[in-house]
Structure 1
Amino acid sequence: MKRISVDIGGTFTDCFFAWEDQYVEAKALTTHHNLAQGFNEALDLACSRAGLDRDLVLKEVDSVRYATTLGTNALIEGKGPRVGALVTHGFEDTIPLSRGRGYGEGLDPSKQQNMPDATRPDPLVPRALIRSVKERINSAGKVVVSLMEDDVRTQVRELVDAGAEAIVVSLVNSTENPVHEQQILEIILDEYPAHELGAIPVLLGSQVSGRKGEYVRATSTIVDAFLHEIMFHALGQLSNNLRSSGYDKPMLVIHNSGGMAQSNSTDALQTIHSGPIAGVGAAQHLADSTGLGNVISTDMGGTSFDIGLVPEGGVKHYDFQPTIGRWLVSVPMIHLLTLGAGGGSIASYDRIHHAVQIGPESAGSDPGPACYDRGGLRPTVTDADLVLGYLDPENYANGYIKLNKKRSVYAIDEDLADDLNMDTIQVAKIIKNAVDEQMAIGMAKELRVRGYLPEDFTMLAYGGNGPLHACGIADHAGIRRILAPPFSSVFSACGAGNMKPLHIHERGSHVVLYNPTDRSLYQSYDELNNVIQDLEAKGKEDLIRQGYNGADIRYSLEMDMRYGNQLVTTAVVFDINRVNGVADVLHLIRTFSDIYGKRYGAGSQAPEAGIRAQTVRVSSYVDGDVVKFDSIDSGHDRTMPSPVGTRQVHFVKIDGAVDTPVYDAEALHHQHVIHGPAIVTTENTTYLVEPGWRLEPTSQGAVWFLKD
């Protein structure tokens, strides 16, 4: 296995480099003006550590995988083309109305509770760029009103004349029959051939989302169109950068569905949150490989804190209708909770509650925290960590960034100390405790609302700041086992290296597996199998187009299921791909019942209300080589290593400074144990062992934090 995997975050660009059995990790600051520059710096560092020539690596490597937050940032900043929309006549206001409550979507819970004061986001498609065409298809997919070609040409001309730089076509019931959307595409291409239309993309709602729901499918397509241009040029820029260095294979892009594809088979919408979701994929691979059991993955980087659930058995948690920015969309996206609580999160004074507020605003990488000495003037979590003594100013990020403690002290004093009437250390402790508590609350809530208990999970702590705050977060959440995985500082990039070529196709289907009214089981086997076969054919076509052998393609059937009319919907993965009789229907029901009971408690199942599937989903994928994780066992006889020095460190629950032993990477040997309080400083991260915890390394580099 020879591959390069890169995760570009808001602050750092992480690189995981696998060359046969050699694994190398490297980091560089993210260069937002040109992402390829940060990619090159991280790759150069990785090649240097591996003792390999960069040009040789790019010529011989089997793949380059790329995860980015570029689309997320573009959506937040509102930077995109003017998008025009074609809808069914009579539905012109569906998009602007946004289900009547669109102004609350994407807001934090405190603002959602004050809806009268909430404001609508600026529309991605202004009302003046919405046109309707006369046509109608009913809910069964039957054409009721045929499309009028002259009407379509008139509406398209008006959109182009009004300045539309991208065109979205989203018609009523197009998921049941996309014929009118496809006819409109042909008319547009006939009216404006490629050499005249230029770079104006035309996106069809039926191709972006297979689920029912006119508004959500329309917004999904609009967001995709809005991000299309920036992603096209950015990925093209990166691809050209690789070509100029001798890499002649297709560039692969990580998807938020948990897979990857070539850039020419990737929708912009699929790249949103792709980096953190790669980390969730790596967590699942580690848990499956080592028998870790229930895992909650936590990625604390410089900008955000990302939480993912990996319950034992590989049950996936999807966002059925995730909110991206301020927009509700309909894509098969692995569930991820993102909190604005990273190392670069800015600490500000809340005058109403006379308290410290952490985030969501971040200093990012430019200018970065005040201690970076790059012009940042506001205090951040990293500044508090430095003031409390957790960080080594000379060896932060392997000495790549020299930290200026005086800047941190000045920023904390200037912005917070006077208002709180406290000294610098007290304020820094409040910042540390507040960010740990905020992340713990997010974790506990995420677990409990999905039927889990925090104490039943192992916390996986990774990202540049994960091992630094892990003990504090776990103390607040009631978790007693933490694992900093191998390659923890670049774990999401490592996950990108394990991703499979994968495409997910789904269709909204009303499948009543058990009808309580007449106590009957589902019998329309051919109808369901035809839907599954059609979804498999689409996935196979996607993968063959990218050069994969049809014989190597595998399929996995999933359904979104629920009891009766309850709101809770569970994604269920099955070990069969066809339903050919009563036994298969009962098998589907039993699988759903087992997963539901395990998640919400034995006896919580309610088959008497009926059992329904509302979405049928097929994952089409090709297996490949993955990173091999060694045993993560702990508990054998261990010895205490010798520290390389001591440092005066302040802990939240202890008054005054504590003379704390400091260790280097040599202490992370699988025969050692380190009891807190202690600090271990490595090239890419810092392990803070708080009082009451102990640290036990494993053979490959994973590190356990365990309660004494």
Structure 2
Amino acid sequence: MKRIAVDIGGTFTDCFVSWDEQFIQTKALTTHHNLALGFNDALDQACEILSLERRLLLQSVDSVRYATTLGTNALIERKGPRVGVLITTGFESTIPISRGRGYGDGLPDEQARDMSRAKRPDPIVPISRIRSVKQRMDYRGKVLMDLDEADVREKLKELVDTGVQAIVVTLINSVENPDHELRIQEIFEEEFPSSMLGAIPMVLSHQVVGRKGEYVRSSSAIIDAFLHSTMYFAMNALEQNLRENGYDRPMLLVHNSGGMAQLNSTDALKTLHSGPVAGIHAAGQLALQGGISNIVCGDMGGTSFDIGLITEGGTKHYDFNPVVDRWRVSLPMVHLVTLGAGGGSIASYDPIFNTVRVGPQSAGSDPGPACYDRGGMNPTVTDADLILGYLDAENYAKGVIPLNMRRTYQALEDICDEMDISEVEAALLIKSMADSEMAAGLVRELNGGGYKASEFVFLAYGGNGPLHCCGIADKAGIKKILAPPYSSVFSACGGAGLDQMHIHEKNVSLGFYNKHTRALYADYDSFNALVASLEEKGRADLLRQGFREDDIQYTLELDMRYGIQKMEVSIELTNRRLNKPAEVLGAIEYMNADFGKRYGKEIVSPESGVWVSTVRVVSRVDLGTVKFSELELPRERVAPPQAVNYRECYFQGNSASVSTPIYGADALNPGVEITGPAIVNPGETTYLVEPGWTFVAAAQGAVWFFHESNAQYQ
């Protein structure tokens, strides 16, 4: 397997190269003005290790896969085109009003609970750029009012006159009958051909979302249009860079659904959070290959801390109506929670509580933390780690970024003066606050799913994961930590093992058991025809990208609920067609088991009716995955190697410094056991073994951490 996977983060660009049996991990600072520069820098480091020219490497690999936070950052910073909307007459307020508690979406828990003071997000599309068109369809797609084409032409001209750079068409019930949306696109091309206005994109909502729900479908299409040009030009620049360096295959983009596709088959909306999702995919593969039943993932990079869950059997959790920034959207996305806590998170004085606040603002890669000596003036978590002695100023990121201690001391002056404390005390406080925030996020996520933190393994990865994992686990009550192989670029590693995948779905209302008629669902022909149509869409996507029909695999999923309840579960049917009552009963029994496991057996109530709300088909081509070595704890323990150095370090609960041994890459030999406090720095990342924890190296560079109260590792 020869392939390249890249995760372009807010601070670092991570690169993972699979070259047959050799795996290379490299990092470079993200160059936001031109992403290709950071990619080339990271790739050149891999080329140096392999003793290959960049062109030869790119000509030899089977694929290049990108995961990027570019769309996420553009949405946060509101950097995008002026978007206009065409919607059905009478529904003009659907977008600005949102729905129910919609204005609380995306707020922190404490603010979401105080709904009376919740502030609506600044709209991507203000009311002045919303126009209605005369047409109407009922919930089954039957035309009640024909499209008034003269009205459409007039409204299009009005939007163009306002200076819109992208147009969204979101008509009521268009997922049942898209004819009117498609006709509006034809009219737009007639009135404003590309030769006149250039490439103004028009996004049709039914092509972005296949489910009903007018507000979430509209917001999904709007965000997709808002990100379209940013993603299109940036990704095309990356693809052009590949062409110039000899790579002639299609570039692949990681999707937040846990799959990937070519650039011409990717909606901008699907790229949001794609990097962390790739990491969760790698965690799922590691859980399956290593036989680990319950994992809580913590990806601590330079900008954020991303949390995901992998439960028994390597099962990933999905959100089907996730919140993106401040808007609820409608697309299947691997469930994750993002906190504004990373190595670059800025610390500031909080006068109300006379303490420090960490994040959510980040110093990013430009200028970066103060210690990077690139113009950053604010103290960050990385600056605190440097003062506490955890980082090697001369060998940070393999010596690529020398750290300036003097800049760090200057950045902390304001906090020290306001609180009348020393720089070390300030750094300890910053680390404690950052660890506490991340631990609280882990516990919230576990408790919300009905899980106990003590029953989970904390999978710590990202550039700062192994550095802060012991502090986070201490505060979360977790006793066992695994820093996986290639931990510093683990999300990029996940991108190297993704399948090419597309998801197509459709809203339905199928009574698998109707309590009024006491009858099971029996319209097998209609159900099977719907599944076949969704499979055909996935087949067309993958055939268009050059795959053989025999390579395509399909999975059928149903979103199901009881008649009197709103909670839904998504189940996977082993048979993709229904032909007899026993198969319908089998689906109901599977739902009962899954529902009881999630919400409690006491509320399983098939007698109230069982309804299917969504039919979903996942079409994929298996492209192989990264193989992880056996991660079991080595039976034979090895004494630590000789320390390469000692450094004065500071730890929570101890005001005095501790002479701490520093170990090199040989500490990662399988079986090496080190009792904290200690630091292991092989170059790619830093492992901090805090007091009360034990470090045990496993195969392939993986590391286990055990709390002193956990005797299970003995």
TM over 0.5: yes
User: Residues 651, 363 of structure 1: CA spacing in aligned structure 2 closer, same or farther, 3 A cutoff?
Assistant: same
What per-residue deviation string (whole Å, max 9, x for no partner) do you get for residues 432-490 of structure 1?
A: 11111111111111111122222222111100000011111111112111111110000
User: Residues 164, 95 of structure 1: CA spacing in aligned structure 2 closer, same or farther, 3 A cutoff?
Assistant: same
Cα distance in 1 between the residues matched to 2:588 and 2:87: 38
Pairs aligned (count): 707
Residue in 2 aligned with 1:59?
59
State the percentage of identical aligned residues. Answer: 57
1:10: how far off?
0.5
Cα distance in 2 between the residues matched to 1:669 and 1:519: 64
Cα distance in 1 between the residues matched to 2:402 and 2:567: 49
Residue in 2 aligned with 1:251?
251
Residue in 2 aligned with 1:648?
648
Residue in 1 aligned with 2:672?
672
Letter paired with 1:597: G
What per-residue deviation string (whole Å, max 9, x for no partner) do you get for residues 408-455 of structure 1?
A: 22222x231222232222221111111111111111111111222222
Letter paired with 2:409: V
Residue in 2 aligned with 1:272?
272
What per-residue deviation string (whole Å, max 9, x for no partner) do you get for residues 607-666 of structure 1?
A: 344333322211100011211111001040202122222221111133311222111111
What per-residue deviation string (whole Å, max 9, x for no partner) do you get for residues 356-403 of structure 1?
A: 211001111111111111111111111111111111111111111111
The alignment partner of 1:7 has SS state of strand
8 A Cα contact 1:318 1:571, kept in partner? no
Residue in 1 aligned with 2:153?
153
Residue in 2 aligned with 1:503?
502
Whether 2:582 is the aligned partner of 1:571: answer: no
Residue in 2 aligned with 1:614?
613
1:174: how far off?
0.7
Cα distance in 1 between the residues matched to 2:87 and 2:678: 62
Residue in 1 aligned with 2:520?
521
Letter paired with 1:475: D
Cα distance in 2 between the residues matched to 1:242 and 1:587: 49
Whether 2:194 is the aligned partner of 1:194: answer: yes
The alignment partner of 2:429 has SS state of helix
Letter paired with 2:493: C
Residues 163-178 of structure 1: matches in 2 within 5 Å? 163-178=163-178
Residues 282-301 of structure 1: matches in 2 within 5 Å? 282-301=282-301
1:79: how far off?
1.2
1:97: how far off?
1.5
Cα distance in 1 between the residues matched to 2:684 and 2:333: 30
The alignment partner of 2:90 has SS state of coil
1:519: how far off?
4.2
Residue in 1 aligned with 2:183?
183
Which stretch shows the higher mean deviation, 124-133 or 538-547? 124-133
Whether 2:119 is the aligned partner of 1:132: answer: no
1:150: how far off?
1.7
Question: 5+ unaligned residues in a row in structure 2: which ranges?
Answer: 709-714
Residue in 1 aligned with 2:345?
345
Whether 2:98 is the aligned partner of 1:98: answer: yes
Whether 2:586 is the aligned partner of 1:587: answer: yes
Cα distance in 2 between the residues matched to 1:550 and 1:217: 31
Letter paired with 2:677: P
Letter paired with 1:441: A
Residue in 1 aligned with 2:712?
none
Residues 398-413 of structure 1: matches in 2 within 5 Å? 398-412=398-412
Residue in 2 aligned with 1:474?
473
1:316: how far off?
3.4
Cα distance in 2 between the residues matched to 1:597 and 1:654: 47
User: Residues 700, 520 of structure 1: CA spacing in aligned structure 2 closer, same or farther, 3 A cutoff?
Assistant: same
8 A Cα contact 1:452 1:600, kept in partner? no
Letter paired with 2:469: A
Residue in 2 aligned with 1:85?
85
1:516: how far off?
4.0
Residue in 2 aligned with 1:698?
698
8 A Cα contact 2:287 2:313, kept in partner? no
Letter paired with 2:171: L
Question: 5+ unaligned residues in a row in structure 1: which ranges?
Answer: none
1:600: how far off?
4.3
Cα distance in 2 between the residues matched to 1:582 and 1:100: 39
The alignment partner of 2:654 has SS state of coil
Letter paired with 1:659: S
User: Residues 133, 602 of structure 1: CA spacing in aligned structure 2 closer, same or farther, 3 A cutoff?
Assistant: closer
The alignment partner of 2:576 has SS state of coil
1:497: how far off?
0.6
Residue in 1 aligned with 2:396?
396
Residue in 2 aligned with 1:42?
42
TM-score (norm 1): 0.97
User: Residues 315, 629 of structure 1: CA spacing in aligned structure 2 closer, same or farther, 3 A cutoff?
Assistant: closer
Letter paired with 2:203: L
Cα distance in 1 between the residues matched to 2:566 and 2:429: 39
1:102: how far off?
4.0
1:269: how far off?
0.6
1:602: how far off?
5.4
Letter paired with 1:669: N
Residues 191-340 of structure 1: matches in 2 within 5 Å? 191-340=191-340
